């Protein structure tokens, strides 16, 4: 038999532990011509026009690397020419015109033409084509091409039509190539006009892109970009900390603070066009305005952001974030627990006789989502609201929302990369939207006319009035504008994008 004495065992164990405790210093290699990004989601599909991926905001940074949009967008949400160099309506808004950029080629070398633009819009407009926002593209039809100018009839006026051309599914695909290879062929070998071409791809693993030498916007800073699909946050932290990746994003705020000042690393954490909010569903106790307003006035958003999110967040009182077009800083819903108590008392509620309802929340979907709701429930309890927390997952939230069966209060987020009020307040609060929580005729009467308002100034003012009315009525509880943590090697320069899309072609360069 083998004998291992206690002395020998202790010596071996001590040596092993000691070697592991010695700090290991490994040089973090400088970034060369290849940029490695530890990305937080997988890319399921290369088709940016149809299917679930096309409306996934977190994938847009990849799509914008391979494809171009009709209209471009700057990091501050302002719009700029994309594959369209000019666009607009005629005087009475019955026609649209679009000027197509010249001298652009697809990745396969064939020329980009106005026919590609028309075909793309028509493909996206088909009601049975799988585009989730086909109603946008179907609002114009009867296209006519004259040189580089396309004109079309407006079937239904949408004031934000051209903004949608910089938004979800607003990408141009190659007509001839797509018709030749079909959808499956396109998935296996996608072709765009973007700054990068697909070089290699393995689902749930990586996407390698090569610079497009003929890109109309100039050659990007890196010859090669590798998106590593690393959905697990711990692994993303490990990727950047070990130096195996050059950039990563959406890490826990605690890890961001730990790493941003570490030797060899830098960080940016800026607000993006994504907000956290609590939907209020009409019916039951929520029909009592005092209850709704008490809910709103008893939440100390600044403290929640400071304590739970380490200060990374911007408190908001409407569904417009500060960068949005209809943001009105004069609309305030102050933290006033005394007022909340008084409001509830007027309806016969108190701490001893609280109003009761359920609040639904995700857990782990957004940073500290569950913990925020726990804190809010605690604040509510102090004024006379007894809320029961129910955890649900994302899929259930969507199904309940679509069937207007959310709990009286439900936490979720809302993205709005084009910053237009119709795509935040409009779709979140109009009862005919499948995504609204509050349904009431008074609000519909205010919102309804704004969908087709042709006077832009009047339209924006109209939305501001709607937001003020919503705040006065307590129809929703906006919480905060999220901030996106980005960590990167210190020899890089990263420009944060307010849409949240990390675009290596235009926003990452060598320092």
Residues 6+ apart with CB under 8 A from 133: 55, 124, 164, 168, 169
Token pair in block for residue 336: 């006033």
CB of 19 to other proteins, least distance (A): 9
The nearer residue to other proteins, 88 or 231, going by C-beta atoms, is 231
Alpha carbon separation from 26 to 23, 242, 266, 340, 464 (Å, rounded): 10, 8, 17, 56, 54
Instruction: State in angstroms the smallest separation of the CB of 158 from other proteins.
Output: 9
Identify how many contiguous H helices and E strands the chain contains and give both numbers. 17, 19
- Complex with other proteins: residue 299 or 417, whichever CB lies closer: 417
Of the pair 383, 418, the CB lying nearest other proteins is at 418
CB of 49 to other proteins, least distance (A): 11
Whichever of 186 and 312 has its CB closer to other proteins, that residue is 186
Q: How far is the CB of 478 from other proteins (least distance, A)?
A: 16
| Tally of residues, the chain | 511
CB of 430: closest distance to other proteins in angstroms? 9
Residue 220 or 426 having the CB closest to other proteins = 426
Which residue lies nearer to other proteins by CB, 91 or 202? Answer: 202
> In this structure, are residues 410 and 360 in contact, taking their beta carbons and an 8 Å threshold?
yes
Classify the phi-psi angles of 145: left when phi > 0, otherwise alpha if psi is within -120 to 50, otherwise beta. beta
Q: Tell me the helix, strand and coil percentages in the chain, rounded to 5.
A: 35, 25, 40
Nearest Cα neighbor of 280 from 478, 413, 423, 442 is: 478
Question: CB of residue 338 vs other proteins: minimum separation in angstroms?
Answer: 36
Residue number with CB closer to other proteins (255 or 317): 255
Instruction: Determine the Cα–Cα distance for residues 511 and 491; give it in Å rounded to an integer.
Output: 5
CA 204 to chain CA mean position, Å: 21
Is the four-CA dihedral 403, 409, 411, 413 of positive or negative sign?
positive
Q: Kindly tell me which of 59 and 104 has the beta carbon lying closer to other proteins.
A: 59
Q: Do β-strands 71-73 and 79-81 pair in parallel, antiparallel, or remain unpaired?
A: antiparallel
The minimum distance between CB 156 and other proteins, in angstroms, equals 11
| Minimum gap (Å) between residue 434 Cβ and other proteins | 6
- Write the DSSP symbol of residue 52: G
Residue number with CB closer to other proteins (162 or 392): 392
Task: Say what angle helices 369-381 and 301-308 make with each other, to 10 degrees.
Answer: 140
Alpha-carbon distance 201 to 188, whole Å?
9
CA atoms of 154 and 93, how far apart (whole Å): 7
CB of 280 to other proteins, least distance (A): 17
């Amino acid at each position: 038999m083998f004998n291992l004495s206690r002395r020998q065992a202790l010596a071996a164990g001590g040596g092993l532990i000691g070697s592991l405790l010695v700090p290991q210093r490994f040089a973090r290699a400088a970034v060369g011509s290849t940029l490695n990004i530890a990305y937080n989601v997988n890319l399921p599909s290369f088709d940016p026009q149809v299917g679930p991926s096309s409306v996934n905001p977190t994938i847009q940074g990849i799509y914008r690397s391979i494809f171009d949009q009709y209209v471009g967008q700057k990091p501050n949400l302002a719009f700029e020419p994309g594959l369209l160099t000019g666009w607009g309506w005629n005087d009475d808004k019955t026609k649209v015109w679009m000027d197509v950029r010249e001298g652009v080629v697809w990745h396969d070398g064939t020329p980009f033409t106005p026919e590609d633009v028309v075909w793309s819009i028509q493909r996206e407009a088909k009601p049975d084509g799988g585009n989730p926002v086909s109603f946008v593209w179907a609002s114009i039809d009867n296209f006519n091409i004259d040189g580089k100018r396309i004109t079309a009839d407006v079937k239904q006026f949408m004031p934000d039509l051209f903004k949608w051309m910089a938004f979800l599914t607003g990408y141009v695909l190659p007509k001839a190539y797509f018709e030749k290879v079909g959808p499956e062929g396109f998935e296996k070998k996608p072709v765009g006009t973007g700054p990068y071409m697909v070089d290699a791809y393995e689902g749930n693993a990586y996407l390698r892109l090569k610079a497009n030498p003929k890109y109309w916007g100039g050659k990007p800073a890196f010859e090669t970009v590798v998106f590593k699909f690393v959905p697990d946050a711990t692994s993303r932290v490990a990727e950047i900390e070990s130096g195996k990746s050059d950039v990563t994003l959406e890490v826990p705020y605690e890890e961001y603070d730990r790493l941003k000042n570490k030797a060899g690393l830098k960080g940016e954490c800026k607000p993006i066009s994504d907000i956290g909010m609590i939907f209020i569903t009409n019916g039951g106790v929520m029909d009592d305005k005092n209850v709704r307003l008490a809910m709103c006035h008893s939440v100390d958003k600044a403290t929640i952001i400071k304590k739970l999110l380490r200060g990374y967040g911007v408190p908001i009182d409407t569904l417009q974030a500060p960068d949005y077009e209809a943001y009105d800083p004069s609309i305030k819903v102050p933290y006033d627990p005394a007022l909340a108590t008084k409001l509830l008392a007027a309806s016969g509620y108190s701490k001893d006789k609280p109003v009761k309802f359920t609040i639904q929340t995700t857990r782990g979907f957004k940073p500290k989502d569950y913990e925020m709701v726990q804190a809010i429930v605690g604040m509510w309890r102090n004024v006379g609201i007894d809320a029961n927390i129910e955890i649900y997952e994302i899929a259930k939230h969507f199904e309940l929302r679509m069937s207007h069966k959310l709990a009286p209060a439900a936490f979720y987020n809302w993205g709005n990369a084009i910053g237009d009020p119709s795509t935040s307040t409009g779709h979140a609060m109009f009862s005919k939207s499948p995504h609204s929580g509050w349904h009431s005729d008074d609000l519909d009467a205010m919102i309804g006319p704004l969908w087709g308002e042709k006077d832009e100034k009047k339209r924006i003012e109209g939305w501001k009035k709607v937001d003020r009315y919503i705040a006065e009525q307590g129809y929703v509880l906006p919480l905060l504008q999220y901030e996106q943590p980005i960590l990167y090697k210190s020899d890089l320069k990263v420009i944060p994008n307010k849409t949240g899309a990390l675009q290596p072609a235009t926003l990452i360069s060598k320092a």
